[in-house]
Amino acid sequence: MYKIKISRSFMILLSLILLTSMASIASASDWPQFQSDWKNNALEPGPAVKTEPEMLWHEHTSANGDNGINVPPVIAGDLVYTHTTNGSVWAFNKHNGALIWRSKTSGGSALQSSTPAYGDGKLFVASNSGDLFAFDASSGEELWSEHVTDSNFECPITYFDHRLYIGDGLRGGIDTKYYYCYDDTGQLLWKYANGNSAGFLWNGASVIGDFLVYSTHEGKLLSLDKETGELTDEIDLGSEDIRFSKEDPGMFRSSVTYHDGYIYTTSERGQALGYVWKIGFENGYFIDEGWCTQNGFSTSTPAVHDGKVYVGQGEHGYTGHLTCLDDSNGDVLWSYFVDAGVKSSPVLAVENEITYIYFTGAESDGSLYCLEEDGTLAWEYDPTDDVGYILQGAAISDGKIYFGTDGGYLYCIQEMIPEGWEQFHKDTRNTGFSPSNTPDTNNMLWASEDIGAVKGSSTVIANNKVYVNCGDYVRSLDQYTGEFLSNHSNGSTKYKSIASPAYHDGNVWCGLPDSVNSATTVADGKLFEGEWDGNYYCFDEVTGEEIWNFSTEGNAQATPAYDNERVYFTTWIYGQTYGGNVYCVDANTGELLWDQNEIINNCCSSPTIYGDIVYVTTYNFYGEGEIYALNKNNGSILWKEDIHSTDSTPAVAYGNVYVAGGCYGYSDLQTYCFDAITGELKWNTTPEDGIGGWLCSVAIADEKIFVGTAFETEDDYTGLNGTCALDAFTGELIWNSPFGGSSPAVADEMVFTIADGKVYAFGEGSNIDEKANLKLPGFGSLFAIVTFSISAIYIARRKERRRIFKVGG
C-alpha cells in the first residue's frame, strides 16, 4: 500500500480554500430580490422547466412545524436564501440543498411576509420587529442591524445601487407610516411620511431611473426622488386624477411593476371585486394613460412580457385564477381556474419563444403550477410529503424553480433529466450533463482489453452495455466488467474519424461511411447525420428512408443537435476568413430557418443547446479560437470569448458552459468555465496543469467536470493521455488518473473514457490494480502531487455538507 503523508498546515490551507469556494458570487441567473429585480420584472433569461417536473432536493427549516416559509426565496451565485417565520435566515447551496449557514434576526411571527434582498455580497433582511439586518451573504456573519420602526415590516426590500427601500407594516393601525431609504452600511438616508395610512403589506417599490414608485394601502401612487426622498408626484386612484379611476378601488396590497413606460399594480375590495391597473409614467410623473380592468380580489404583483400581463386572483379559502390580459387595452385574453386563491405573484421564463408562467395556489397542501402562454396547463407539481400552506410564489435560476411552504420546506424543482448516456454528449441537445452520481476518487473499476477503441471518440452507455467506435465495428462491452460482448454496426474510420456511437431501441449507429467526427443524432423517430463533403441528412429511424438532405459549403464534422423540431449543425472552410457557419433547419423538412456566417474561424465543434442559446467553438490554425453563444431562434451572436483553438463541444450545467481547448505542441491545453448567459469567465485551468485538449469534450455530473489531460511530454498532438475530475464551480482538481483521456461519458455512477485502444471505467468499488491507480505522473502543479489528499478532503466535505453553521443564535 502506498501512503502519502499530508502535513497539518497543508490540510488547514486546503480547508480554507474549499470554504472560500462557497462564496456567493453574483451571476446572470441570480434572482436577488422579490420578482427578480428593482422593477419587479419577474423574468428569468435561462431555460424554462417546460415539462415533467421533478424534485431535485428539498430541505426543512423546522422539525417542529413552527418555522414556516411565507416569502419567495432569493438567489445569488450558488446560494439560495429564505427568511422564516421565527426570524431565522437560511442559506442553502442551490444545486444540492446543502445548508451553508443559518442566522437569526429578531421578532418572529406567525406570518413573515418581507422578502429579503441581496446586493454586493450582502443579504438584507427586514424583521417583524421593525429591524433591518445585513449579513455577509457567504458566511452568514451579521454585519449590522438597525432598529428602524416600532411598527413592523411586511413588504419586500427593494435594493438598488447600495440602497434599501422599505415601508412600515400594518402594526399600530392607521397612522403616519414611513417609506425608508437606508444605505448598505445601515445609515438612514431619508424617510417619507405617508399620513393616515394603514401601512405597507406586500407594497414593494420599483426604482425607475431617478425615482422610487410605490402604492399605499389606501390607493395612492407616489413618485419620490430616490436620492433625497422628496415627493415628485402623487395620484389617488380613487379620485379623478386619471380618467379610469374608481370611486372605491379597494386596498392596495401588492408591489408595483414597471415596464416600458408604465406602472402596473393590483387592488382588492373583497373576494368578488378587485382591479388590475396600468398607469403611464414619465420622468417622475404619472400620466393619464393606461387602463383599469376588473379582475376580482388580488394581492398579486403583475408580470409583464411580450404584450401580455399575467396576474393572480383569489383570496385564501376561495378558488382563484391566473389571468392573462392584453397589455395594450387590458382585455382579458384567458383565465386559468385553480381550486385555491392565487395570492402569489407569477414569475416567467421564456424558451423556444414561448412564455412559461409559474405560480402557486394559496392553500394547505397546495401546488406549484406552470402554464404556457396560451393558458394551457403545462404541469402541476404537488409536494405530496408536505401539507404546508403555500402563500407566496417562486424564484427561478439556471432552469430550476425554488419555492417554500408554511410547513417549513424549501423546494428545488427541475425538468426531469433521463439517466442514460445513449448518444454523443449525452442527449439530443449535446449538453454533456448527467444527473448521475460520480466517483470522488480515481478508483478504476476495470480496463478493457485492446479492442481498437478510437482515440478521441466517446463511448455511449445503454442497457448495461458500453458501445465503442472501434473503426471497423462498433463493439459492446459489459458495463460492469469491461468484458467484450459483441460487434455491431460499422464504426467510423474516414480520416481517423472520432465519431461516437448512438443507441436507441436496440439499434446502434455510428454516422455514415463518409462521416468524419459527425456522429448520429437520434430524435423524434429520425436519424440526423453529416458527411465530410458538407452534406447533412435526415433518415427515418425505422426504415432508413431518406427524408431530406441539406448541402452546405465547406466540410461538415458536427454531430447535429436537435431541439423543438429544429436541427442545428456547423461547417467550416479551411483557410477562409469567416469560414465558420452554423445552421438551423426544420427537422421535418430540412428547410433553412437561419444561418450564421459571421463566425471568423473554422467552426469544427458540434453545437450545444441550453435554453434559447446555441454554443459552438472554433479552431484557428494560426492563432486563438473562440467560443460563441448564439440566439437559438435567429442565430444572432450574443457573445463570444477567446479560448485556445478547439473542436471541443461545449457542455452546460449549473448556469455555466464548459469547454476544453489547445493542441499539444501548438498551444497550451486548458479547460474553461464561462457564465452561460453573459460569457463571463468563471475560472480556467493553468497552462502548467495541461488539462484539456482540442479533441476532448467535457462531461458534467455530480458537481464535477470530467476532462482529458496530457501528463507526458512525449504525448502526441491529440494531447489526451489521462483523466481529471475538477470541481465544477472552482476548477479545483479533485482527482486525476494517468489512464484514459478521450471525451468522457457518465452513467450509473461510473465514468468511461478511451485511450490506447482500451476503455477505462472509474467508479466506487473494487479496483483492478491498486498500485496502478496510485501512479502519479508529473503534473506541473501542487495539486497533482497531492491529488489523493485533495480527494480525501473532498469526500469529507461532501459527507459533512449538511453540517449547520449557526451564526448569531
Q: Which grid coordinates belong to 325?
A: 390580459
Integer Cα distance of 515 and 493 in angstroms: 8
Using the predicted structure, report yes or no on whether residue 781 has a pLDDT greater than 70: no
pLDDT of residue 26: 59
Using the predicted structure, report yes or no on whether residue 797 has a pLDDT greater than 70: no
Using the predicted structure, report yes or no on whether residue 239 has a pLDDT greater than 60: yes
What domains, with CATH codes, occur in the chain? Answer: 8-17+40-77+84-143+154-171+180-415 (2.130.10.10), 439-467+655-809 (2.40.10.480)
Using the predicted structure, report yes or no on whether residue 714 has a pLDDT greater than 80: no
pLDDT of residue 270: 79
Phi, psi of 611 (to 5 degrees): 60, -125
Give residue-wise pLDDT tens across range 615-629. 999 999 888 999 999
For residues 205 and 213, the answer to whether their CB atoms sit within 8 Å is yes
Give residue-wise pLDDT tens across range 716-743. 556 578 999 999 999 999 999 999 999 9
Give residue-wise pLDDT tens across range 90-103. 999 999 999 999 99
Using the predicted structure, report yes or no on whether residue 53 has a pLDDT greater than 80: yes
pLDDT band at 796 (very low <50, low <70, confident <90, very high): very low
Give the mean pLDDT of the chain: 90
pLDDT of residue 430: 98
Using the predicted structure, report yes or no on whether residue 594 has a pLDDT greater than 50: yes
pLDDT of residue 580: 87
Integer Cα distance of 315 and 715 in angstroms: 69
Q: What Cα–Cα distance (Å) separates residue 356 from each residue in 71, 123, 310, 528, 765?
A: 21, 29, 11, 29, 43
pLDDT of residue 65: 59
Give residue-wise pLDDT tens across range 663-672. 888 889 999 9
pLDDT of residue 782: 36
pLDDT of residue 719: 57
pLDDT band at 596 (very low <50, low <70, confident <90, very high): very high
Q: Which grid coordinates belong to 157?
A: 426590500
pLDDT of residue 717: 58
- Alpha-helical (H) ranges within 531-685 are none
Question: For the chain, first and last CA: distance in Å?
Answer: 46
For residues 198 and 192, the answer to whether their CB atoms sit within 8 Å is no
pTM: 0.91
pLDDT of residue 109: 80
Give residue-wise pLDDT tens across range 179-209. 999 999 999 999 999 999 999 999 999 999 9
Q: Which grid coordinates belong to 771?
A: 498500485
- Do β-strands 699-701 and 433-434 pair in parallel, antiparallel, or remain unpaired? parallel
Using the predicted structure, report yes or no on whether residue 795 has a pLDDT greater than 80: no
Give residue-wise pLDDT tens across range 313-364. 999 889 999 999 999 999 999 999 999 999 999 999 999 999 999 999 999 8
Q: Which of 416-420, 537-541, 637-641, 697-701 has the lowest mean pLDDT?
A: 416-420
**pLDDT > 70: percent of the chain:** 89
Give residue-wise pLDDT tens across range 100-143. 999 999 877 878 999 999 999 999 999 999 999 999 999 999 99
The stretch 291-307 carries a mean pLDDT of 96
pLDDT of residue 576: 76
Q: Which of 559, 552, 481 has the alpha carbon at shortest distance from 516? A: 559
The stretch 768-780 carries a mean pLDDT of 41
Give residue-wise pLDDT tens across range 425-482. 999 999 999 999 999 999 999 999 999 999 889 999 999 999 999 999 999 999 999 9
Long-range contacts of 77-80 (CB under 8 A, 24+ apart): 77/23, 77/24, 77/25, 77/26, 77/27, 77/30, 77/137, 78/22, 78/24, 78/25, 78/654, 78/729, 79/22, 79/24, 79/137, 79/138, 80/395, 80/397, 80/402, 80/410, 80/412
pLDDT of residue 29: 86
Q: Which residues contact 704 (CB under 8 A, 6 or more apart)?
A: 438, 725, 726, 727, 728, 734
For residues 622 and 666, the answer to whether their CB atoms sit within 8 Å is no
The stretch 32-51 carries a mean pLDDT of 95
